[in-house]
C-alpha cells in the first residue's frame, strides 16, 4: 500500500485552513494582537471587585479567547496534516507558548472573581453581565480547588511542561515510529502504519492479519520502556495537579472539571463487570462463525460476513451519511451538506499525518481530520466526526463564545448518535439476510470497541493512576501485566491473550487525555438511548435533542442529557445498551444458522 506525501494530496481532499487565516502572515499578526490584548487585560489585576471593571474585563477576555482559539486551531491543523513538517511544528509551538504566557498573566482573574461576595448585585448594576453568568458560575463552582493568586500563576506557567509526556508520545507515534512491512499469503508486501493497521486486521487473509499484528507491536516493543516512561510521567503530572488542588484523587479532579461525579465513572465499570458474560457470548459466536478453536486478537476485526465486505468510496460515504441525518430537519441538513463539500474535511492519509480522526470546532466552522480508507469502518468514522462537527457548529451558532464549548462528558453523544442513524439507514437500504448480518456484525463491533473496550481502557487508566498515587513506578512490565489481566477478564476464555496485546496500551493516545475514554462508553450508551427516541419517537424528541446540541455548556452535562431525554446518573442507559447488544448477537446468530 503506497502512502502519498502531503504535497501529493489533491487540494479538494484537504481542509481549507485559509478559512481561518488567509496565510501565515495573518496568523502571526493575530498572535501579536493576542499578546497586546493580554497585556491590556493585565491592567484589571486588583480591580475586578467593581461591576463595570468586571464587565470590561470579560468583554476583552471573550475577544481574546476567540482570537486565541483561531491561532491555536490553525496551527494545530497545520501541524497534524504533516507532523514531520518542522516549520508547522514551530508555528504550533509559538501559539501554545503564547497561550501559556497570556493565561499565566491572567490567572489572577479566577481568584479575584471568587472573592466577589454578591455577584447578583453586579448583574443588577450591569445587566450586560448576564451574558457571562454561566461562565462566572462555573468559575465560582471550583472555588474550593483554586489556589492563591501566586500559586495559580505558577500552575498556569507549568502547563507546557505538563504537556511534555503527550508531546513525546505524539512525536514517537506519528513521526518517528516505523514498522516492517506486513506480508500477505502470496508474499506481497504492504506498508504498515498507524493509519493502515486496523484496515489490515479487517482483511480475510489471516497471514496478512498476523503479519501486520506481529510487526506493528514489534515496533512499539522496540520503544516500550520509553513509552512506559512517558505514561509514568503523565500519571505523575495528574497526581501533582490533583494534590495541589486538594482533590482526593486524579480521577475526582478530572471528572470534576466537567462537573460530573466520580460515581458515574465507577458505575460504568461496575455495570460492565456485571454484564461481561454478554461480551464473552459475542466472542463465542465469533469463534464459531470463523470456525476457530481459539480466537487471536488479530481475528477480532475481520468481518464475519466476508461476501458483503465491499469497498466504500468517499463519495458514496458522503451520500449515505447525508441521507441518514435528514430527520434532523432542513437547517441541520443544509449545514451538514455544506460541510461535506466545502473542504471542512482532510480526507486521506499521507506521510506524517496524525493517525485516527477528530473534529476541531473552530469559530469559522468545524474542521474534520480523517484517514479515510474506502471501508465501511471509515464511513462510520465520517458519520461520527461529522456528528461532532455539527454539535460544535450548533453550539457556536447559538451560544456566546465563552459558553460554546460543550463539556467533554457529552462530546461523544452527538457523534455516536449519528453512527446509529447511519446504521439504521443502511439496514433499510438492503434487506438481504447476508447484508443484514454484515451490518449487524459492524454494529456489534461498535459495542465491543466503544462500550466494552473503552470501559476496559477506563479501568486500566483508573488502576495505573491509583498505583501512581501509591508512589509505585509504572514500568513496562507492570503496565503489560495490568493490560494482559484486563484483556483476559474482558474477552474470556475463547480469546488468546498474547504478548503483543499486552503492549496495546503503548499506542493509545487517549491515555494522555486525563480520564477521557470512559466518556466514549457513557456517550455510546446515551447515544443508543437517544437514537431510539429519534428514530421511533415524536417530533418533540427530535426538538429536545436539537436543543441539547445548541446548548453548549450552559448546564451541567448530566442536566443537558436529561434535557435531551436520558439520565446518565443511572446505570439504566448502560444496561439498556448491553441488552440491545445481546439482542443483536441473537439476531446475528439466527441469520448465520
Mean pLDDT of 299-321: 91
- Asked whether the beta carbons of 160 and 97 are under 8 A apart, the reply is yes
Same domain for 268 and 154?
no
Residue 340 falls within a domain, yes or no?
no
> Is residue 450, in this structure, part of any structural domain at all?
yes
Check whether 560 has a pLDDT greater than 90: yes
pLDDT of residue 279: 98
Domain termination residue (choose one: 162, 181, 205): 162
Position 159 scores a pLDDT of 85
Q: Are residues 269 and 124 in the same domain?
A: no
The answer as to whether 361 is a domain residue is no
pLDDT tens string 338-376: 999 999 999 999 999 998 899 999 999 999 999 999 988
| Number of domains into which the chain is organized | 2
Under the banding of pLDDT at 50, 70 and 90, the label for residue 392 is very high
- Determine the 3-state secondary structure of 45 from DSSP: coil
**For 285-350, where are the E strands, in sequence order?**
345-346
Do 158 and 252 have their domain in common? no
pLDDT at residue number 306: 75
pLDDT digit string, tens, across residues 160-170: 889 999 999 99
**What is the 3-state secondary structure of 199-228?**
HHHCCCCHHHHHHHHHHHHHHHHCCHHHHH
Instruction: Report whether pLDDT(580) > 70.
Output: yes
Same domain as 264, residue 146: no
Residue 121: count of CB within 10 angstroms of its CB: 11
pLDDT of residue 1 exceeding 80: no
**pLDDT the model gives residue 593:** 85
Parent domain of 90: 6-162
The pLDDT of residue 307 is: 67
Question: Which pLDDT band holds residue 408 (cuts at 50, 70, 90)?
Answer: confident
Domain check: are 143 and 269 in the same one?
no
The confidence score (pLDDT) of residue 309 equals: 73
Of 162, 194, 220, at which residue does a domain stop?
A: 162
Task: Give the CATH number for residue 18.
Answer: 1.20.140.70
145 and 253 in a single domain? The answer is no
Average pLDDT over residues 293-298: 95
The CATH number of residue 491's host domain is 1.10.1370.20
Residue 195 inside a domain? The answer is: no
User: Residue 330: pLDDT above 90?
Assistant: yes
Write out the three cell numbers for 369: 481530520
Mean pLDDT along residues 66-95 = 97
The band of 456, judged by pLDDT with boundaries at 50, 70 and 90, is: very high
Confidence of residue 156 (pLDDT cuts 50, 70, 90): confident
152 and 44 housed in the same domain:
yes
pLDDT digits (tens, 9 = 90+) for 201-211: 999 999 999 99
Taking residues 277-293, report their average pLDDT.
Answer: 97
Give me the mean pLDDT over the 287-316 stretch: 91
Please report whether residue 513 resides in a domain: yes
Q: Which of 162, 180, 214 is the last residue of a domain?
A: 162
Q: Where are the beta strands (DSSP E) in 337-463?
A: 345-346, 358-361, 366-369
Residue 391 lies in a domain: no
Q: Are residues 419 and 523 in the same domain?
A: yes
Residue 308 predicted with pLDDT over 90:
no
pLDDT at 2 over 90: no
Distance CA(397)–CA(391), nearest Å, equals 10
Q: Considering 126, 385, 461, 504, which one is annotated as catalytic?
A: 385
Q: Is 385 a catalytic residue?
A: yes
- For residue 294, the Cα-to-chain-centroid distance in whole angstroms is 32
Residue 327 lies in a domain: no
Query: What cell numbers appear for 26 in the block?
Result: 495573518
Looking at residues 26-46, what average pLDDT do you find?
98
**551 and 442, same structural domain?**
yes
Burial class (CB in 10 A: 0-12, 13-18, 19+), 505: buried
Would 227 be classed as within a structural domain?
A: no
How large a percentage of the chain has pLDDT more than 70? 100
pTM, 2 dp: 0.85
Amino acid at each position: 500500500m503506497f502512502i502519498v506525501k502531503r504535497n501529493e494530496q489533491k487540494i479538494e481532499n484537504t481542509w481549507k485552513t485559509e478559512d481561518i487565516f488567509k496565510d501565515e502572515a495573518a496568523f502571526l499578526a493575530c498572535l501579536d494582537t493576542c499578546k497586546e490584548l493580554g497585556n491590556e487585560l493585565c491592567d484589571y489585576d486588583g480591580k475586578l471587585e467593581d461591576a463595570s471593571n468586571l464587565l470590561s474585563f470579560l468583554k476583552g477576555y471573550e475577544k481574546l479567547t476567540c482570537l486565541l482559539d483561531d491561532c491555536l486551531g490553525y496551527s494545530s491543523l497545520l501541524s497534524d496534516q504533516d507532523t514531520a513538517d518542522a516549520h508547522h511544528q514551530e508555528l504550533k509551538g509559538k501559539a501554545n507558548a503564547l497561550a501559556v504566557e497570556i493565561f499565566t498573566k491572567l490567572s489572577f482573574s479566577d481568584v479575584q472573581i471568587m472573592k466577589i461576595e454578591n455577584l447578583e448585585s453586579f448583574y443588577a448594576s450591569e445587566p450586560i453581565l448576564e451574558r457571562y453568568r454561566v461562565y462566572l458560575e462555573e468559575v465560582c463552582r471550583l472555588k474550593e480547588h483554586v489556589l492563591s493568586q501566586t500559586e495559580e500563576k505558577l500552575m498556569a506557567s507549568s502547563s507546557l511542561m505538563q504537556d511534555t509526556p503527550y508531546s513525546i508520545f505524539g512525536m514517537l507515534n506519528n513521526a518517528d515510529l516505523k514498522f516492517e512491512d506486513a506480508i500477505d499469503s502470496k508474499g506481497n508486501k504492504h506498508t504498515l502504519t498507524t493509519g493502515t493497521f486496523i484496515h489490515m486486521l479487517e482483511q480475510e487473509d489471516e497471514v496478512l492479519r498476523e503479519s501486520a499484528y506481529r510487526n506493528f507491536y514489534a515496533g512499539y516493543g522496540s520503544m516500550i520502556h520509553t513509552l512506559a516512561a512517558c505514561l509514568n510521567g503523565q500519571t505523575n503530572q495528574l497526581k501533582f495537579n490533583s494534590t495541589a488542588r486538594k482533590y482526593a484523587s486524579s480521577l475526582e479532579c478530572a471528572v470534576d472539571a466537567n462537573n460530573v461525579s466520580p460515581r458515574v465513572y465507577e458505575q460504568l465499570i461496575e455495570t460492565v463487570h456485571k454484564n461481561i458474560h454478554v461480551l464473552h457470548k459475542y466472542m463465542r459466536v465469533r469463534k464459531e462463525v470463523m470456525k476457530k478453536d481459539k480466537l487471536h486478537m488479530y481475528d477480532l476485526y475481520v468481518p464475519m460476513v466476508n461476501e458483503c465486505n465491499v469497498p466504500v468510496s468517499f463519495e458514496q460515504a458522503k451520500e449515505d451519511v447525508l441521507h441518514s441525518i435528514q430527520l434532523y430537519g432542513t437547517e441541520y441538513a443544509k449545514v451538514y451538506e455544506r460541510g461535506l463539500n466545502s473542504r471542512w474535511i482532510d480526507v486521506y492519509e499521507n506521510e506524517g499525518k496524525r493517525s485516527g480522526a477528530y473534529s476541531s470546532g473552530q469559530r469559522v466552522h468545524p474542521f474534520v481530520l480523517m484517514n479515510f480508507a474506502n471501508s465501511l469502518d471509515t464511513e462510520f468514522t465520517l458519520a461520527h466526526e461529522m456528528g461532532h462537527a455539527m454539535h460544535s457548529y450548533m453550539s457556536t451558532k447559538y451560544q456566546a463564545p465563552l459558553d460554546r464549548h460543550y463539556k467533554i462528558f457529552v462530546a461523544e453523544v452527538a457523534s455516536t448518535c449519528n453512527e446509529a442513524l447511519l446504521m439504521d439507514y443502511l439496514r433499510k437500504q438492503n434487506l438481504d439476510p447476508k447484508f443484514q448480518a454484515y451490518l449487524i456484525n459492524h454494529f456489534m463491533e461498535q459495542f465491543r470497541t466503544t462500550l466494552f473496550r473503552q470501559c476496559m481502557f477506563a479501568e486500566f487508566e483508573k488502576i495505573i493512576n491509583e498505583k501512581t498515587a501509591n508512589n509505585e513506578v509504572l514500568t513496562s512490565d507492570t503496565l503489560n501485566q495490568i493490560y494482559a489481566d484486563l484483556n483476559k477478564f474482558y474477552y474470556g476464555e475463547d480469546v488468546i491473550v498474547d504478548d503483543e496485546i499486552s503492549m496495546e496500551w503503548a499506542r493509545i493516545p487517549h491515555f494522555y487525555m486525563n480520564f477521557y475514554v470512559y466518556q466514549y462508553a457513557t456517550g455510546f450508551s446515551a447515544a443508543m438511548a437517544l437514537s431510539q427516541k429519534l428514530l421511533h419517537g415524536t417530533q418533540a424528541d427530535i426538538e429536545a435533542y436539537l436543543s441539547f446540541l445548541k446548548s453548549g455548556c450552559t448546564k451541567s452535562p448530566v442536566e443537558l442529557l436529561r434535557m435531551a431525554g436520558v439520565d446518565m446518573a443511572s446505570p439504566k442507559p448502560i444496561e439498556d445498551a448491553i441488552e440491545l447488544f445481546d439482542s443483536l448477537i441473537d439476531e446475528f446468530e439466527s441469520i448465520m444458522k
